[in-house]
Structure 1
Amino acid sequence: MLVEEVMKTEVITLTPSESIETALKLLNEHHIRHIPIVDHNHCVIGIVSDRDVRDASPSILDEVSEGGQLKKPIETIMTSPVITVHPLDFVEEVTSIFYEHEIACVPVTKNEELVGIITEKDMLHTLIQLTGTHVQSSQIEIKVLNKPGMLPQVMQVFGKRKVNISSVLIYPYKPDAQYKIIVIRIQTMNPLPTIEDLKEAGYEVLWPKMPGMTT
């Protein structure tokens, strides 16, 4: 899945000379957490979060403050330089950027110009779609040898049953690197017939554990 398929294209922005107070108002009015800061060419030169603005705001207990801090330009608190991604980047790869840099938002640029934004909430929503958990389905986990050709072999069993597959994931089997786990979600609330087919074909089904069944 590409970034352009999940990014928001209507992005609220500010210029570096606008005030922190303006940023605070926009964050509250639009219920957002990040605002990209752009120059006159609409190129991203910084970004501010609700936490940045909150930290820069005077305390309600500070009786002598007249809010002068809020009049300062947003460039005094913005984060710069900014990590950006391209609309044609894969969402799966962008996920690692969020994790490695511990960020919650990434502007999307094309030819250095801002064209969208993607947040951790967007990423979570996309993960739900990729894993198929947003539709009524059953999850089956199959332990197989970690060697080429295993996925096509397993899929033949599902093909014979003619079940509709929502998603397919593969991850390592931690107790033994010689094996891996194939996770398949099928659009049925009764996976028992498919599980029986898998067992008859000689596959070890780790999940679900059906009563009266042995692996």
Structure 2
Amino acid sequence: MLVQEIMKTKVITLPPDAQIVRALQLLNEHHIRHIPIVDANNAVIGIVSDRDVRDASPSIFNENVDADELKNPIRTIMSHPVVTIHPLDFVEEIAAIFYEEEFACLPVVSEDKLVGIVTEKDMLHTLIQLTGTHVQSSQIEIKVPDVIGILAKVTAIFGKRKVKITSVLIYPYKDDPKYKILVFRIQTMNPLPTIQDLRAENYEVLWPNVMEHNNEKM
């Protein structure tokens, strides 16, 4: 999945000479947390967060409140330089930037011009879509050897049951590089027949473990 598929293209921006009070108004009016600061060519030269604006605002508990502080230009509190991403970057790769740098948003730039923005909320929504949890489905986790062709062999079992696969994820198995965990979301509310087929082919089903519980009760 590419950044251009999830980015917002309608971005609220400000020039560097805009007053801080204007940023405060836009943050409240549009219920956003970040405002990119752009020059006359729409190039990103900084970014301001709601925290930056809050820290720059005079405290109501301060007896010597100076309202003129909010008239200062936004460039005095903006963060720069700004880490940006490209519309053709892979979402999976920029997720690492969000995690490692602890960013809450990333401006999207093409040919040195701002074309969009991606936020933490956008990333979370994308994760929900990638994992298939937004549709009614059942989850099956299978421990498999990390060998070539294993995914095709496992999905063939789902195919025989004519079960629709919503999503597939692959995780490492603890600290053992010889194995992987395949996580399937399938569009059926009764995964037991498929689980029986998997076990018949000697695959270890880690979740759900309903059948083991039933056997213990018998």
TM-score, length of structure 1 as denominator length: 0.97
Distance 1:150 1:213 in 2: 28
1:187 and 2:187 are equivalent in the alignment: yes
Unaligned runs of 5+ in 2: none
Aligned length: 214
- Whichever residue aligns with residue 51 of structure 2, its letter is R
Written as runs of structure 1 = structure 2, the 5 A alignment for 1:34-53 is: 34-53=34-53
- Whichever residue aligns with residue 14 of structure 2, its letter is L
Residues 11-32 of structure 1: CA distance to partner in whole angstroms, max 9, x if unpaired? 0000000011100010011100
Distance 1:28 1:57 in 2: 14
Q: What percent identity do the matched residue pairs reach?
A: 69
- Whichever residue aligns with residue 106 of structure 2, its letter is V
Residues 118-149 of structure 1: CA distance to partner in whole angstroms, max 9, x if unpaired? 00000000000000000000000000011221
Written as runs of structure 1 = structure 2, the 5 A alignment for 1:195-206 is: 195-206=195-206
SS at match of 1:190: coil
- Whichever residue aligns with residue 41 of structure 1, its letter is N
Distance 1:53 1:17 in 2: 15
Written as runs of structure 1 = structure 2, the 5 A alignment for 1:99-178 is: 99-178=99-178
Q: CA deviation at 1:63?
A: 2.3
Distance 2:164 2:26 in 1: 45
- Residue 32 of structure 1 aligns with which residue? 32
- Whichever residue aligns with residue 26 of structure 1, its letter is L
1:97 and 2:104 are equivalent in the alignment: no
Q: CA deviation at 1:100?
A: 1.1
Q: CA deviation at 1:202?
A: 1.1
Distance 1:148 1:213 in 2: 33
Residues 177-211 of structure 1: CA distance to partner in whole angstroms, max 9, x if unpaired? 22110000001111001101101111110000113
- Residue 87 of structure 2 aligns with which residue? 87
1:212 and 2:189 are equivalent in the alignment: no
Distance 2:151 2:53 in 1: 50
Distance 1:149 1:173 in 2: 18
Q: Compute the RMSD of aligned alpha carbons.
A: 1.1
SS at match of 2:214: coil
Unaligned runs of 5+ in 1: none
Distance 1:86 1:96 in 2: 15
Distance 1:139 1:42 in 2: 45
- Whichever residue aligns with residue 9 of structure 1, its letter is T
Distance 2:202 2:155 in 1: 13
Distance 1:128 1:146 in 2: 26
Bigger shift: 58-67 or 22-31? 58-67
Q: Which runs of 4+ in 1 moved over 6 A?
A: none
Distance 2:116 2:199 in 1: 47
Distance 1:95 1:178 in 2: 26
Q: CA deviation at 1:213?
A: 5.0
Distance 1:10 1:142 in 2: 42
Distance 1:160 1:83 in 2: 48
Distance 1:85 1:137 in 2: 34
